[in-house]
Structure 1
Amino acid sequence: MNAPSRLAALVLALGSATALAAPEVLLFPALGRPDSVTLQGRVLAEAPRGSTALSRNVRRLTTRNQKGARVEVSFLEASATVTSDEDGDFQVTFQSPPGRPFPAGAHQAQARVADNTPATARVEVLADAAPFLVVSDFDDTVAISEVTQPDKLVTNALLRDADTQKVVPGMASFYGCLGAGSGAVPGFALVSGSPIQFGPRVGSFLARHGFPAGFGLYLRDLGPSTLSGYKQPLIRSLLQRFPHPVVLVGDSGEKDPEVYAQIREEFPGRVRAIYIRDAGNTQDAARFKDMLLFKDASTAAEHAARVGLAPRECIATAFPPATPRAEQGTP
């Protein structure tokens, strides 16, 4: 049994006797275009609560989804009512009025079921002039999850939260420099195997550690059918919706190099660079053909400066050279 399978089995076992509270709507941060914005979310039958990270994580993963809920979704001056499907999921696309494109930048969307407090999420409308779109993994790319080590994976997934999960050093600074000073800001999309129920946790983690605001979250619906092959459809959909050049960032622990190589082949000329953090499983150099495999975020940042993806001034400020220690006895 692989690590995700073990984690799913443990979650089901731990969650079999949990007591749950009131309903909750999850609305995921999204990227939009001036002509259209697509919002996605899920309705949970009950809102999970807990006094520990373990209880909160398990209850969030095992809470029942609510089918057939009427969800009122609004964005700027537009609104729509949709019905959640059998998995509790809902989706709505808003088209901008003729001659009135959605303004580029940050906006807020809301989703409400009945008289409950509405869920809110940031929508980043990506300007047509944006320099590129960054598609990033989460686990072992920006957050230390240790997916290749089952025992440590369970610890990081269930016993930690947004405040206690460790960040990969330097990645927030690296992302902050990508596209800096280019006028229109780049877009950031996080496409990850983290379960969609962890959306609030992932968003809080990114904010806590200073990653650029405006990440769209595109997470995995945890289940046997999504143990592999779940990233490609999400990334394809993003590249079909957004015509911008793309920068792909992942890690070597599982299949990011293979997934990104496939995307590069399917979308010739679109991928500006592929950055792969060394998280193990690097014996086969062929996996990383025409990609930058790095251990330290500063290495990726220096490469980004060389190829024009980040201004050198930003990189120099974010990653200052280490000051040599004075030799013993030197005043």
Structure 2
Amino acid sequence: MSCAASAGPAVLLFPALGRGNGVLLQGRVLKEAPTEGSSVLARNLRRLTAPNWEGAKVEVSFRGLTTLVTSGHDGNFEVNLQPAKGEAFPSGFSVAEAKVAGVSAQARVEVVADTAPFLLISDFDDTIAVTQVVKTAKLLENALLKDSDTQQAVPGMAAFYGCLKAPGAPSFALVSGSPVQYAPRVASFLTRNGFPPLGLYLRDLGPGTLSDYKQPIIRRLMQQFPQPVVLVGDSGEHDPEVYAQIRQEFPGRVKAIYIRDAGHAEDASRFTDMVLFHEASEAAAHAAKNGLADPTCVAGAFPAQAPTVEKTAP
């Protein structure tokens, strides 16, 4: 995903998943592009505090279709583009574009094939990126003093996701509490660390999103796509409870729930019928055993440790 940067306005367009019968595109317009700062802290603060532009006229294009939409009070916009009657968007990856006041942004869109075996919905913080949410000082350090080049990825998670093939590759969505202003940073992090392309569904920070912000997004995805889902999160905050709620609301749709142990894992009842793992290799091995991942890929990505040979005393 790209964001035009200049002294004038800017537009963000978020990577997305769509279907052959329609693609929902979302983004945000800023009155002033976040300018480059002299430090990582300055750049992150400028991302978070850039003023939104209400009432901007945004031209959104995808595969030859173009429509005009007006940004809302928070600068956000969304549009559902549909192919001509009797036609369908082809499966695979394409590029969408948003333009406003002489600036533009592009984002990758995956039209999910009806044959995709499942949709993987992933958390970000402490699931695939080391954030240490349970430690306030470390959380602030990672949020404000790190960027896509310096934030640490959770070891093995990109390889785990890359091996998920049952037998075809699934599609991936990232549903996270990270602010929408960090979308370019998150997208760059994912690319740099070798994750497969993910649709980005981030949090619009505000009083109404202090809690229960993931469920509406996950519900929308599950209503949009007919495939079963695999949910991946961590134990540090509320992912087990959120995912248990989704599993109850959509009986038979959740194939597996993987929870990385990131702390607050003492209460085993939080993880009923879930896979609580410490290392990505454990989740990958379970996925391979249960037909969600390619065993050959998993064996190559996570080779077994050679057994230790004890020396016999002379």
TM-score normalised by structure 2 residue count: 0.95
1:241-282 alpha-carbon deviations (Å, 9 max, x no partner): 001010000000000000000000000000000000000001
Contact 2:130/2:152 (8 A) holds in 1: yes
Q: What corresponds to 1:195 in structure 2?
A: 179
Deviates more, 1:274-283 or 1:321-330: 321-330
Which residue, 237, 255, 258 being the options, matches 1:275? 258
Q: What corresponds to 2:98 in structure 1?
A: 111
Shift of 1:283: 1.1
1:12-52 alpha-carbon deviations (Å, 9 max, x no partner): xxxxxxxx943110000000001100000000111112122
Contact 1:22/1:48 (8 A) holds in 2: no
Q: What corresponds to 2:3 in structure 1?
A: none
Q: What corresponds to 2:142 in structure 1?
A: 156
Which residue, 197, 206, 210 being the options, matches 1:227? 210
Q: What corresponds to 2:193 in structure 1?
A: 209
Secondary structure of 1:129's aligned partner: coil
Q: What corresponds to 2:295 in structure 1?
A: 312
Hey, what's the Cα distance between the residues in 1 that align with 2:285 and 2:208? 39
Q: What corresponds to 1:25 in structure 2?
A: 11
Contact 1:277/1:294 (8 A) holds in 2: yes
Q: Give 4+ residue runs of structure 1 displaced > 4 Å after superposition.
A: 325-330
Hey, what's the Cα distance between the residues in 2 that align with 1:244 and 1:142? 23
Shift of 1:318: 0.8
Contact 2:9/2:101 (8 A) holds in 1: no
Q: Does 1:249 align with 2:232?
A: yes
Number of aligned residue pairs: 307
Q: Does 1:101 align with 2:88?
A: yes
Which residue, 124, 129, 133 being the options, matches 1:147? 133
Shift of 1:322: 1.5
Contact 2:127/2:260 (8 A) holds in 1: yes
Hey, what's the Cα distance between the residues in 2 that align with 1:162 and 1:208? 8
Shift of 1:120: 0.2
Deviates more, 1:272-281 or 1:223-232: 223-232
Shift of 1:329: 9.7
Contact 1:133/1:245 (8 A) holds in 2: yes
Hey, what's the Cα distance between the residues in 2 that align with 1:144 and 1:112? 34
Which residue, 199, 223, 231 being the options, matches 1:240? 223
TM-score normalised by structure 1 residue count: 0.90
Which residue, 62, 73, 82 being the options, matches 1:86? 73
Secondary structure of 2:174's aligned partner: strand
Q: C-alpha root-mean-square deviation of aligned residues, in Å?
A: 1.5
Which residue, 31, 39, 52 being the options, matches 1:65? 52
Which residue, 30, 33, 43 being the options, matches 1:44? 30
Hey, what's the Cα distance between the residues in 2 that align with 1:239 and 1:204? 26
Segments of 5+ residues of structure 1 without an aligned counterpart are 1-19
Segments of 5+ residues of structure 2 without an aligned counterpart are 1-5
Hey, what's the Cα distance between the residues in 2 that align with 1:93 and 1:161? 32
